Structure 1
Amino acid sequence: MKRTISLVLACLSLTNAYSQSKPDWENPEVFAINKEKTRSSLLPYASEALAIKNEYKSSPYYQSLNGKWQFHWFGKIADVPDEFFKEEFNASSWTTMPVPGNWEFNGFGIPIYVNTGFGFSSSPPFINREDSPTGAYRKQFNIPENWNGRKVFLHFEGGTNSMYVWINGKKVGYTENSKSPAEFDITPYLKKGSNLLACEVHKFSDGSYLEDQDMWRLGGINRSVYLYATDQTRILDFFAHPDLDAQYKNGLFSSSVKIQNYGNAATAQMVEVSILDKQGKKVFSQQKPINLAAQAVDSLVFEGTVKTPLKWTAETPNLYTMLVTLKDGQKKVIESTSHRIGFRKVEIKDGQVLINGKRVLFKGVNLHEFNTQTGQVVDSVVMLRNIQLFKELNINAVRTSHYPQQPLWYRLCDEYGIYLVDEANLESHGLGYGPNNVSNFPEWKAAHMDRIMRLIERDKNHASVIFWSLGNEASNGKAFFDMYDWAKARDKSRPVQYEQAYQRDRNTDIICHMYPSWGSMVRDAAKDLGKPYIMCEYAHAMGNSMGNFQDYWDLMRTSKNMQGGFIWEWYNHGFKTKDEQGREYWAYGGDLNGFNKPNDGNFCMDGIVTPDQQYMPHTHIVKKVYQNILFEAKDLANGVVTVINDFKFTPISTQEYGFKWVLLKNGTNVAEGNFEVAIAADSRKEVTLKLPKLAFEAGVEYYLQVYAHRRTATKFLPVGFEVAKGEFAFTNNNYFAEVAKNANQTKIEKKETQQKYSFTANGITYEFGKDNRALTDIKGASKQLIAKMPKLNFWRAPTDNDFGSQAQYNLRVWETASISQKVSFKSIDEKADAITLNYEFQPQGVAAKVEVAYTINSDGSLTVNTHYKALTDDLPEMMRLGMNMELPKEYNNFTWYGRGPWENYVDRHQDAFISVWSGKVGEQVFPYYRPQEAGNKTDVRWFTLTDSEGNGLQIKGAQPLSVSATNYRIEDWDPGTTKKQQHPSDIIPSDRVILNVDLFQRGVGGLDSWGSKPLDKYLFRGKEYQYSYTMSVIRKGSNQNSK
């Protein structure tokens, strides 16, 4: 998945004699023995009615083999008994294994997570024979009586790295390629009554060098297995082309249909092809005779026009059923099959991808097959939940990273509307990208070709598949040019992409960079690149991340060629487990007994949803940025807003969508209303809202928030579901202007000793040291208010992106500066209504000084003014600038006027709107899977922390603040200069409220997690900063002024 700097040097000396003497599983020229060619996912049915429904279980010619199989696990291939596959072998002591199922989630072996590498030392084509987990399977089955005289096929949907197959003790064949189907003709091996299927499944083989994807390495048959039977003459395959004419109006349909005669006599039969709409009405039908010689295969071509069909797009997933029926001379159905198809046209014109003539933006995500409970065994419930979340988050495209996924996934994407980039099961990342990659070696070429062929042949009839991808991070050797040429010749209706071709080589139709630098993107956005630019991976979502996501899309919308990308990635790949104390946590690489195995730690925790398919904080920014209804402020003073329909094929109708506006004054709703607007697809319209007259006096600000919601339910979105939102500040806002002070001013009482000052105003006493201490105590609240006085702070617990950019080293001076500071009392200024004490802080380890002025006001409040000044140009950027303090745990009611309700940062805040928000302190932190910085709020004007009786603390900013209130100290989340195998369950929450009151905090970043910093505008390198806030004690029953 991710780009790595260091390359693994491989020993790649091979000879022709080698292939004759080595085992199949260490021979790159052997990857399929007696294996059928891949074809579309089709099943024979006894009638057209059953074929139209296309429910496998309803076919009399289908038998599932899923369920419990006899099983024995071996630590290495050499330990497998020589004759376990024979009928007479005694397997009574064996256990059982579910099929589909991963060994590691059923008590056998250790799950290994690596980003790049193979789970064993690299020396292609060899594996580590001493650590070569192998599963031996046995399954009894019976052939139905009505299958007599028919051909019988054994079909594995995938899920085996390499595997031998036996039937009744006789060797049937061998397969590699864990993510494409393996099908065998087992007719010659069958007998009446009970039959024995035996499989030897290897976790590793030479094929592992082509399957070095960033994922958990698991063993087992993890997709469905079934039998099916065909007549001696059968529908072998078809390739449908439901195209559109040049005006994108009428359908131009053509299809080749391949018929095979297995028999020893010639046949004369009829083939009928029909297209049915969703009501079952035929909109196209043709039949043609076919005469086949014995043991022959032949093809027929059907073609014609379908007038004004309903078009397929991700927005409008209109499908038709293509029905293919084989009949005998008496017009009796021999067998019938079907596939759902969609009329649509994918083109590249003028450097842009067009769907049905429209330039589409691909709001995509990368998806691995994953189930937090079962590993890589994914069922329909998990798939449908993913599609529901895609629809909620406005995701319209998925890259099947980095392999073909289950056939059911494609059917669901066809039905519900998701664009698919379908990727071959091919990644040799751990071998590097240079001339020594196996893609350059002749003995590996056929294995490369096999993977693109099997991808395309299986999925060629799916409307949702719009691009083919040759693979991922596998260099760009000679094999990839041949793969590209074959794909373009086989399917002229779809573009082909390959990231490793970059902008340099001919074997990609799309510039599909991964993680381009921001500078290169800015340069490319200004050019006419001649090809579409769609990032195959971007916005690496590891840990507390997804910063600058709005910036990505603001830039792409200015570009001719840029049309979106695919976030890395969808899931955080963690498995729920318990530690020795019974505490639950999400396991990542190195957990689950894998600490001494190759592992890449928490690099698998890099998704936008949780392992169990729930939202996390940065999920919300995806929904906001990807939304299909946009808002712009046209003339706020007069209530004029532009509503933009970013759907390319779907109008916004008043029947389907409703709109609401809310006007907030200082965070409080003062007016609201509903409005309607109908907008054609890919268009915009101005609306005028009936806003009240606004008075922009000092200390007042207004925000307008606009929302769109569903008025009608869809399969996945209920009535009222919020689909889009926008927020606008009025230009005349004057919130931070000086306002008149309260009338109830009191005299400030001053006491002084040799060591300290003491000041009392309005019943609140502040104590200050004269030498090496500043504010030392606050008294006068009903009970202790501040358990640890405010202290200058420049440091945060490094995020995963911080670790990637080496901030844990390069910026660590700011931790020292936060811990150790020399304090000097400078002066005192006394006025009738305020007394100011001036201190200078010298943070240790950095050439800087900080002047802090504490002003005791006559109303009992304390204003803290901080002035930072660097004394050199050589200081690294700060993690943050602010103050850290601690309150007793009972002050756990947190209310703030700023952005919320979830955490937000300077480069990830557009999804969090300005308002007055409230919650418990303990609710403010998302438990990132490796503990790190969390819980921040930006643009905070004021906030309060109170106990159950309403007593507590209020802080108001003289400018927007960055604030967090949690039960975790920075050192709880900071592992030091190297990451540790640490989880949220390892950290005990503090019995205090840990409060950070900052001017700023560095952005979390969002380009990648192995080198890039946040964008420059979200870094803080200034030589001088100043900010101020005022602290007030809240007493029970007081009417605290929030401004």
Structure 2
Amino acid sequence: MITILRTVIFSVLTTTIASSLGAITPDWENPSVFAEGRLAPRATSYPYPTPAEALAGNGYGSAYVMPLNGKWKFHFSAKPDSRPADFHSPNFDDSGWDEISVPSNWEMLGYGTPIYTNITYPFPKNPPFIDHSDNPVGSYRHTFRLPDSWKGRRVILHFDGSTAGMYVWVNGQKAGYVQSTKNQAEFDISSFVCEGDNTIACEVYRWTDGSYLEDQDFWRLSGIDRDVYIYSTADERILDFFADAGLDRNYRDGVLRLNTVLQNHSDLTKDTRLDIRIYDAADRQVASQSKQVRLNGNASETVDITQKLRNVRKWSAETPNLYTLVLSLTDNKGNIIESTSSRIGFRKVEIKDSRLLVNGQPVEVHGVNLHEHHQTNGHVVDRETMLSDIRTMKRHNINAVRMSHYPQSPLWYDLCDEYGLYVVDEANIEIHAMGAEHQGGFDKSVHPAYLPQWKEAILDRQRTMVERDKNHPCVIVWSMGNECGNGENFYAAYDWIKSRDTSRPVQFEQAGEAPDTDIVCPMYPSINSMKDYASRTDVTRPYIMCEYAHAMGNSSGNFQEYFDIIRSSAHMQGGFIWDWVDQGLLTKDENGEAYWAYGGDFGAYNYPHDENFCINGLVQPDRTPHPGLMEVKKVYQDIRFAAIDPQRGEFEVQNHFIATDLSDYDFSWELLRNGEKMADGTFELNLPPGQKKAVKAPIPSVDMNDGNDYHLSVYAYTRKGDEIIPAAHEVAREQFSLATGSMTIQKPATTIPATFNKDGNTWSFDCQGNVTIKVNSRNGEVYAYAVNERNLLNGSITPSFWRAPTDNDWGNNAHRRLNAWRYAGHNRKLTALTHDTDKERHIITATYTLPEVNATYVLSYTIHPDGRLGVESTLHADSDHMPELMRFGLRLPLDRSKDNFRWYGRGPWENYSDRNTASFMGIWEGKVDDQFYPYIRPQETGNKTDVRWATLTDDTGFGIKVSGRQPLNVSALDVTPDDLDPGMKKSQMHTSDVHHSRHNVYLNVDLAQRGLGGDNSWGRGPHKEYLLNDKSYNYSFIISPVIPD
């Protein structure tokens, strides 16, 4: 029997902190005050009048639940001293106040300023104190009436979350105070409510001492930003329950270990019965138990029940099989006092042999980090956006989500239970600005992780997370926080979680390989450190990166390389990409054009900010996927294909699922010759999880040495669909190169050389086919390539050594280190121009010096009799100090009417040398407008790799073709790098600031371009194999006209 504790009792102030804070210190500057009057945290559940209603589980629709979301009265004060101090009085006149939606963030509705900062606190750092002159306060009032059926019952006021500190009054009486950012808070208001109108008053402070524990890398927004409701219970109630739904040692039968806390608020002893029933997905009862319980007056009683289910349908992210647990409390006459319910999933999570297992099988974590973010609502995310995220994640082979860096809305966990995503649930703790382990030295004498006066606040955030979410099968790991130090307070937190829940491991990145983590979960490890851990034989813990593959802007390079290492060792088990969604907020510029704002916008230049460092998702704020997400999908796929003898159509299919047979999928193959399909077919497989099988596609017999390219592509598709993943959705792909064709130049149909004319500085060549080519002899530039007097060029062909820096380029200082290339092509000096003939061909050779980089650059044009123009570009360093190149290529400006882009190479989405495993060889086409991907901060975009040829034509089919003598990088855009490059300083530049040309299309024809990188965005560059560090480069291609039939 447990004596009831109606509220959370605060830890007593230590002598030290009492003397330093003093008697008049506000609660919101006292780390020992974080939950006055709050009920003990419990699992999310709702009371129902009957078991049938509990089984239906319509939470807010229960007769015992009343949502309070909607319009509330609101007053905004810029600082505490200007707040309306007596507003909680029931008779206060709020008729002059504004109305605000609850839930919401008040900054998103025009009150105060949204602030984005990564590490730096948005207030002066002096824990636990807050600047009284700049701490906005929101005052809320709301009136409600209780249903008549609640008369004589207890009433509980529930907040799913508010930011950051909140006082609560009901009918003028103080219910309590909480720092409940991202955590639930409940108050027993039974003694405060009355018949008729009842008034809730809430006073919300933007910053509190708890804000020192909430230094997450996201928008700093405020208000009552999660659901609010009240619910009613009898004096006897089901207070809480822990439904540990596991499996037996053979992973076959389900074992429910149910721990229930019953509460009696009356003075009388009551004889009751606890009934439990378990229902399957079709609402058929599959198990039941009852237990008589005597409830002493004003006390609680704990009831333990164990229930087994034979041959249970197990829960996993692949097979999210759910049961419904219904608990009912009855009186001694058999009358229902209260029912409640929870969906449960039977699964077993454990660490064995240094591997994380789910249901006895090792799981490869294909994860992402997720912040709560909505482009117009800030941190208030609606159900449809959550469903959209789950759809997109699962359609791209993502199976796990880390709650970065706080527990999210309870609805999210319900949806992950239902649709199948593994969740690492993380406590709302980040203390980054005070210092973090593995990131350099810091002063532990002032750091909350190491100070006893902060211990209870840190432990409370663990408790509220674990108690709220303990019944969700999707939660497979607890995380104690992020970048917050690893002092004694976290060792205590680890011990508490392990004592409270033995069914899940605990991870903590800050621990490294210290004892207070069950998983080694580094962030942004180097490739070498990954290889080192992979090769070790002494490890006992799995290696799952809590953050990696920083997806800021045009990123996600070398993603395949991560998994080459991960799949080399059993204890390397994946990780969580940073992160899912670009945290842009939708707003409009002075011209009314919409754009996504980031740090420093909204007038926040008076506050510290970190520019666009919040724009690092795999999807845009409206959930449009970035091109990099396609690479993630390919690498994350659980159906994989390996070559056996692909020239004979033989390959291996591997099933890396843990619970899914491949009979659920359809398969197809295609044989391509020079990018065009010449044969295709389908096949079926019955292949259990963890197995592999050889397959032979009946490809036609062809001579693979006939000078053509041949590729064999294989695909897997869903056979059946549901609301998350439709039927015929591609889940896996692979392409095998069977033969690489010759890229030699065909001989011209005519051998009559072009006619050469010289007119001042113009060298003109008239070729067969009515093709005219003109060279400016002053600078050696080809500026005209005309067919029937229609010039295809809209300017000169010029060298291109620079790209608009990506966010990763900025992060590794490439914009400065490689700045010499920015204008190297523009500032080149012509040192020689020659005109030679070779039989029927004219050869123009322009030699330049590039003073900024101390190199020699040569452009050679070969004019063929039939009007084809050969282009050869050569770069040679004249010293050992030539810097790495951004790109090596040429730019061809064409008239804007040449809007139809077609290419044979990798596609269809943009791809780069270190991000192209998902991009298959083929013939692709699209509009020039569609080649520009609108990264929120403009940067390099639109590249295609391994291009054999490309065309740009107008709507009549007239245009130009480039054909490589070796594979090319090609893009077709209506912008140049200068249009996307702010120069040496990163400016507040957005997609809406980009001026797209109405006159030109720029065809970029490159030998190579620097890789994107993606290990992080603050120092590491692309891997060395994707850098352009050679001291000489040479490539060539052919320009020819495209003339419609």
TM-score normalised over the length of structure 2? 0.96
Which residue type is aligned with residue 339 of structure 1? S
2:790 aligned residue = 783
Which residue type is aligned with residue 614 of structure 2? C
| Post-superposition offset of 1:100 | 0.9
Pairing of 1:125-204 with structure 2 (within 5 A): 125-204=128-207
Moved over 6 A (4+): none
2:477 aligned residue = 467
Of 519, 527, 538 in structure 2, the residue corresponding to residue 518 of structure 1 is 527
Of 401, 406, 422 in structure 2, the residue corresponding to residue 403 of structure 1 is 406
Work out whether residues 211 and 427 of structure 1, in 8 Å CA contact, stay in contact via their aligned partners in 2: yes
1:810 aligned residue = 817
1-side partners of 2:759 and 2:993: how far apart? 46
Work out whether residues 43 and 471 of structure 2, in 8 Å CA contact, stay in contact via their aligned partners in 1: yes
| Post-superposition offset of 1:753 | 6.7
1-side partners of 2:642 and 2:403: how far apart? 34
Pairing of 1:658-669 with structure 2 (within 5 A): 658-669=666-677
2-side partners of 1:222 and 1:735: how far apart? 62
- Count of matched residue pairs: 1021
1:4 aligned residue = none
Work out whether residues 677 and 687 of structure 1, in 8 Å CA contact, stay in contact via their aligned partners in 2: no
2-side partners of 1:768 and 1:51: how far apart? 82
> Is 1:37 matched with 2:40?
yes
2:766 aligned residue = 760
1-side partners of 2:164 and 2:623: how far apart? 27
Work out whether residues 774 and 823 of structure 1, in 8 Å CA contact, stay in contact via their aligned partners in 2: no
Which residue type is aligned with residue 467 of structure 2? E
> Is 1:849 matched with 2:852?
no
> Is 1:751 matched with 2:754?
no
| Post-superposition offset of 1:698 | 5.0
1:7 aligned residue = none
> Is 1:931 matched with 2:938?
yes
1-side partners of 2:528 and 2:824: how far apart? 32
2:76 aligned residue = 73
Deviates more, 1:584-593 or 1:994-1003: 584-593
| Post-superposition offset of 1:748 | 2.7
- Identity across matched positions, percent: 45
1-side partners of 2:651 and 2:640: how far apart? 10
2-side partners of 1:593 and 1:898: how far apart? 45
2-side partners of 1:776 and 1:369: how far apart? 52
- 1:501-541, Cα deviation, whole Å (9 max, x unpaired): 112x1111111111112222222222233211101111111
Which residue type is aligned with residue 518 of structure 1? I
Deviates more, 1:160-169 or 1:873-882: 873-882
1-side partners of 2:535 and 2:911: how far apart? 30
1-side partners of 2:777 and 2:153: how far apart? 98
1:723 aligned residue = 731
2:656 aligned residue = 646
1:416 aligned residue = 419
2-side partners of 1:195 and 1:117: how far apart? 42
Secondary structure of the residue aligned to 1:604 is coil
Work out whether residues 270 and 328 of structure 1, in 8 Å CA contact, stay in contact via their aligned partners in 2: yes
Pairing of 1:680-695 with structure 2 (within 5 A): 680-695=688-703
| Post-superposition offset of 1:769 | 4.8
2-side partners of 1:769 and 1:63: how far apart? 80
Secondary structure of the residue aligned to 1:449 is helix
Of 1028, 1032, 1041 in structure 2, the residue corresponding to residue 1020 of structure 1 is 1028
> Is 1:606 matched with 2:616?
yes
Work out whether residues 865 and 1028 of structure 1, in 8 Å CA contact, stay in contact via their aligned partners in 2: yes
Which residue type is aligned with residue 798 of structure 1? P
> Is 1:508 matched with 2:508?
no
Pairing of 1:446-845 with structure 2 (within 5 A): 446-503=456-513, 505-528=514-537, 529-653=539-663, 656-697=664-705, 699-730=707-738, 732-736=739-743, 738=744, 740-752=746-758, 757-762=763-768, 763-770=770-777, 772-825=779-832, 827-845=834-852
Work out whether residues 19 and 27 of structure 1, in 8 Å CA contact, stay in contact via their aligned partners in 2: no
Which residue type is aligned with residue 765 of structure 1? T
1:9 aligned residue = none
Work out whether residues 907 and 1018 of structure 1, in 8 Å CA contact, stay in contact via their aligned partners in 2: yes
Of 883, 887, 901 in structure 2, the residue corresponding to residue 876 of structure 1 is 883
2:13 aligned residue = none
Aligned in 2, Cα 1:19/1:483: closer, same or farther, shift over 3 Å?
farther
Pairing of 1:903-982 with structure 2 (within 5 A): 903-982=910-989
2-side partners of 1:943 and 1:624: how far apart? 25
Secondary structure of the residue aligned to 2:163 is coil
2-side partners of 1:407 and 1:209: how far apart? 24
Secondary structure of the residue aligned to 1:953 is strand
2-side partners of 1:405 and 1:775: how far apart? 59
TM-score normalised over the length of structure 1? 0.96
Work out whether residues 748 and 865 of structure 2, in 8 Å CA contact, stay in contact via their aligned partners in 1: no
Aligned in 2, Cα 1:121/1:225: closer, same or farther, shift over 3 Å?
same
What is the root-mean-square deviation of aligned Cα atoms in Å? 1.7
Work out whether residues 248 and 356 of structure 1, in 8 Å CA contact, stay in contact via their aligned partners in 2: yes
2-side partners of 1:840 and 1:520: how far apart? 46
Work out whether residues 1005 and 1014 of structure 1, in 8 Å CA contact, stay in contact via their aligned partners in 2: yes
- 1:201-233, Cα deviation, whole Å (9 max, x unpaired): 111111111111111111110111111111111
Work out whether residues 699 and 739 of structure 1, in 8 Å CA contact, stay in contact via their aligned partners in 2: no
Which residue type is aligned with residue 613 of structure 2? F
| Post-superposition offset of 1:19 | 5.2
Which residue type is aligned with residue 1033 of structure 2? Y
| Post-superposition offset of 1:757 | 4.1
Of 997, 1001, 1004 in structure 2, the residue corresponding to residue 996 of structure 1 is 1004
| Post-superposition offset of 1:299 | 0.5
Aligned in 2, Cα 1:15/1:831: closer, same or farther, shift over 3 Å?
same
Work out whether residues 940 and 957 of structure 1, in 8 Å CA contact, stay in contact via their aligned partners in 2: yes
Secondary structure of the residue aligned to 1:818 is coil
| Post-superposition offset of 1:771 | 5.7
1:252 aligned residue = 255
Work out whether residues 783 and 793 of structure 2, in 8 Å CA contact, stay in contact via their aligned partners in 1: no
Work out whether residues 154 and 232 of structure 2, in 8 Å CA contact, stay in contact via their aligned partners in 1: yes
Work out whether residues 542 and 605 of structure 1, in 8 Å CA contact, stay in contact via their aligned partners in 2: yes
Aligned in 2, Cα 1:14/1:259: closer, same or farther, shift over 3 Å?
closer
Secondary structure of the residue aligned to 1:146 is helix
> Is 1:320 matched with 2:323?
yes
| Post-superposition offset of 1:781 | 4.3
Aligned in 2, Cα 1:739/1:871: closer, same or farther, shift over 3 Å?
closer
Secondary structure of the residue aligned to 1:687 is strand
Q: Gapped runs of 5+ residues in structure 1?
A: 1-12, 1038-1043
Secondary structure of the residue aligned to 1:335 is strand
1-side partners of 2:624 and 2:162: how far apart? 26
Secondary structure of the residue aligned to 1:129 is coil
2-side partners of 1:192 and 1:1016: how far apart? 73
Which residue type is aligned with residue 931 of structure 1? P
2-side partners of 1:844 and 1:970: how far apart? 21
2-side partners of 1:637 and 1:68: how far apart? 67
| Post-superposition offset of 1:177 | 2.7
1:888 aligned residue = 895
Work out whether residues 782 and 1035 of structure 1, in 8 Å CA contact, stay in contact via their aligned partners in 2: no
| Post-superposition offset of 1:693 | 1.4
2-side partners of 1:769 and 1:67: how far apart? 70
Which residue type is aligned with residue 516 of structure 1? P
Q: Gapped runs of 5+ residues in structure 2?
A: 1-15, 437-441
| Post-superposition offset of 1:829 | 3.8
2:5 aligned residue = none
Work out whether residues 816 and 844 of structure 1, in 8 Å CA contact, stay in contact via their aligned partners in 2: no
Which residue type is aligned with residue 863 of structure 1? G
2-side partners of 1:778 and 1:88: how far apart? 83
> Is 1:221 matched with 2:215?
no
